[in-house]
């Protein structure tokens, strides 16, 4: 048997170079496609910025809530440490105030004045 030669495929015809009007048309199509692409990207960026702004606002709210809860916890811890429900500074301020009132009462008694006498002096 004789060796068979493989049939070679027919050569593809060469693609013709587009004419100037065809190239202009292709360029216009590419411009339209790129304009649509850019518009969709601008829209995506705008939506992303809106989401980002919403998330920033939500973060600010939750940070404020966190600060408030931390202050609340610290205040409750301070009250828990003080059985009277007052801090040491409050106790000292009240003690100083009581001492002043006691001194005023003592001076009133020494001078022989009553509360109505002091009230009339203050109203003058």
Q: In this model, does residue 2 exceed pLDDT 60?
A: no
Q: In this model, does residue 87 exceed pLDDT 90?
A: no
Q: In this model, does residue 85 exceed pLDDT 80?
A: no
CA atoms within 13 A on the CB side of 54: 6
> Could you give the C-alpha distances from 124 to 39, 114, 115, 116, in angstroms and in order?
80, 16, 14, 13
d(CA 40, CA 46): 10
d(CA 47, CA 104): 70
The pLDDT value given to residue 39:
97
Percent of the chain with pLDDT over 70: 90
Q: Identify the band that residue 116 occupies on the pLDDT scale cut at 50, 70 and 90.
A: confident
């Amino acid at each position: 048997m004789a060796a068979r030669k493989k049939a070679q495929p027919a050569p593809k015809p060469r693609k013709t170079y587009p004419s100037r009007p065809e190239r202009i048309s292709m360029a216009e199509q590419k411009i339209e496609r790129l304009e649509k692409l850019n518009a969709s990207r601008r829209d995506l960026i705008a939506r992303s910025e809106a989401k980002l702004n919403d998330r920033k606002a939500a973060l600010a709210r939750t940070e404020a809530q966190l600060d408030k809860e931390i202050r609340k916890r610290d205040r409750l811890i301070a009250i828990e440490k003080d059985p009277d429900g007052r801090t040491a500074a409050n106790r000292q301020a009240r003690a100083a105030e009581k001492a002043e009132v006691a001194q005023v009462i003592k001076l009133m008694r020494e001078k022989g004045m009553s509360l109505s006498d002091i009230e009339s002096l203050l109203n003058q």
